[in-house]
Amino acid sequence: MIEIQAYNVPQLYAEGMSVFHMYAMEAPSRNGPVYTIPDPVELVIQNPKQRVLFDPVRDANPFFHVMEAIWMFSGGYYAKFLLEFNKGYAKYVEPSGEVHGAYGARWLWHFGKEQIREVIKILREDPHSRQAVIQMWDASRDLSKPIGIPDYKDRPCNTQICFRTRPQSGRLDMTVFNRSNDFVWGAAGANAVHMTMLHEIVATCTGQPVGTYRVVTNNLHLYKDLPVVKKEYGKLVVPVDPYHDIMGLHFPLLSEHEGGWEEFSRDCARFVNGVQVNNRTGWLARVAEPMLAVWRLREQDYALAINSTHNIAAPDWRMACVQWLTRRQVSKVALGAAGA
């Protein structure tokens, strides 16, 4: 097994691209040719709270990453909310509008069990329990083809999550098991956001510090034809990591005086459904809501949207939004100048 160690997500991305250049082989896949590491891979992040990817070539969409996580924590199954932030997500959506492999649905209700709540309960009662497990792969549905359609457009890539309290430090570690993971869009992208957010929420609700985040994947790969892969594969990728310069760095998803997981999940559902309430948990009110407002302002004017990012209370997400919007503003100006 090959191990990729990093302190945070920006460093994971740079380190992972280097490891691909050393070990990867070319292989076919149902979605086109890939570079794949021939052995299972363990990804290790020591500080999963530093989860925002700033690399300008990768150009990760911070708005989509945050909104997808909120959708998951609401138990979302229909993709309408997500498509506002990423129209390309439509390729994973069934004709009914459902996302077959939606993680949030599987965490909250798919198996007839609210798994996040149960895991929190287990760890509160026994922090050293080895039975705090969240399941995502459903053998009764995911191992066979559906009736009436050619096949599902999406099956869970991450299959199981296990929690463990470290004996000496008391920190809560989280390990994700994965059958197949694209490194650019998944492992160091969207997955790194919503999985580490889940990690933080469970740790907060059980009164434990956040420990190490791990992913064990059976197949880590890059799609050769992605523009970002063509630009960065085989080159030295230097981590774009402003975290050490950001003051007041982390805005917690939940604080001790807030209502806990149930309230947070309920507020996420209200947010996704556009329900206006005044008692949202702080992160949703001070980070997610301003991000949504900025996203919608960009349709009118990029400069106005950028000026409005000061309302985003989380410094890392605020910086990522400014950078992402500025790149598009510059491209729009350049395109206008070229057409003049």
d(CA 107, CA 113): 8
At residue 115, what are phi and psi to the nearest 5 degrees? Answer: -65, -40
- Indicate the burial class of 49 (C-beta count within 10 angstroms; 0-12, 13-18, 19 or more): buried
d(CA 274, CA 81): 10
| Cβ-based neighbour number of residue 284 at 10 Å | 19
Name which of 72, 139, 70 is nearest 99 in CA terms. Answer: 72
Query: CA dist 137 to 10, 190, 220, Å?
Result: 28, 18, 18
β-pairing verdict for 41-45 and 210-217 = antiparallel
Catalytic residue among 157, 205, 268, 321: 157
Tokens of 137: 């792969």
At residue 41, what are phi and psi to the nearest 5 degrees? Answer: -130, 140
Query: CA dist 70 to 76, 127, 253, 264, 267, Å?
Result: 9, 26, 11, 10, 9
- 157 carries an active-site annotation: yes
Query: CA dist 209 to 167, 175, 191, 199, 287, Å?
Result: 13, 15, 21, 10, 22
Name which of 245, 244, 285 is nearest 264 in CA terms. Answer: 285
Q: Annotated active-site positions, please?
A: 157
